[in-house]
Amino acid sequence: MDAVAARPVRAVGWFLFIVAGVVIVVAMLTAALRPGGSTPPIMSDALGPENGERVDDYLSFAASTLDDPVGDPGAPRWALVSYDGARPAGEAAAAIDAAGIERISQVLINTPVESVSMPVIPAAVAAPISTDDGHSGPLGRAATSAVTNGIYALDHPGEGVPTAGTTGEQAPLRPADARERAKIELTADIVERGGGAIIGVIVRADIAQLRALTDAPGSSAVRSVEALPPDAAWGRFAVRPFLAGYTDVVEPLADDAAVPEPARPGE
């Protein structure tokens, strides 16, 4: 319990969350949250590393939330599963399915490019349903829907497509500059081609299931699992992505190279 208690509670306001130079450009598509709506809730919990945190310290902290969990280990709780890189939907789903986890509520999309700080796009995942392909289908469909909405938002700023960096909050859209547009268009192209684009998922499971993620088939793709206490409520905790580019310290990634053009048909 000491490791969990030693880490300060982190709060976040109502604004477009920027973590280590990564701009999270599209949020959960929640119909109830529209521009000019009610005041968003205060975030009292958070998943993911803090800016300036050493990667080894975060990995140790994340492991401690499973080794010495808060509350009843059998109680379901929200957790951030981070992968060792951008994974296609099938690979991202493999360990989740093998661990017997039924509920994925959000997927984090990011397509790493050398010396380009690519956006992280959180996308809501449909309620659990029984499908022949496990979570692979729902994850793929959520990613495709998110980038489609992202492209729409580029062309229709301010029309209500939510943007945010946490579960349940939103910030107004603004017109994207040419570089931001190029990043979103490249992300959309990779997702639509079925390439590696999923860097993390938010799941709800008990401690035994979360621990199984590190032992299940496909677990080699899982870099870390961080769990919240069981009383943490959806919509009241922030999500900070754990990027594969964070190797020593969580800090802004380089963004000084040209954004590659999307692949042409047949390439």
Domain ranges of the chain: 2-239
Q: Which of 43-47, 108-112, 176-180 has the highest mean pLDDT?
A: 108-112
Name the pLDDT band for 152 (thresholds 50, 70, 90): confident
Q: What is the pLDDT of residue 35?
A: 38
On the question of pLDDT at 160 being above 50, the answer is no
Q: Which whole number is the average pLDDT over 53-59?
A: 98
Beta bridge partners of 121: 109
Q: Amino acid identity, residue 131?
A: T
Q: At what angle do helices 89-98 and 136-155 cross, to 10 degrees?
A: 140
**What is the value of pTM for the model shown?**
0.77
Nearest to 134 by CA among 99, 93, 106: 93
pLDDT at residue 145, rounded to an integer: 86
pLDDT digits (tens, 9 = 90+) for 90-103: 899 888 988 889 88
CA dihedral (5, 236, 214, 124) in degrees, to 10, reads: -170
Which pLDDT belongs to residue 164?
37
Q: What is the mean pLDDT of the chain?
A: 79
pLDDT in tens, 229-240: 999 999 999 999
pLDDT at 60 over 90: yes
Strands 103-109 and 22-23: unpaired
Cα 180 to Cα 31, 159, 218: the distances in Å are 25, 18, 33
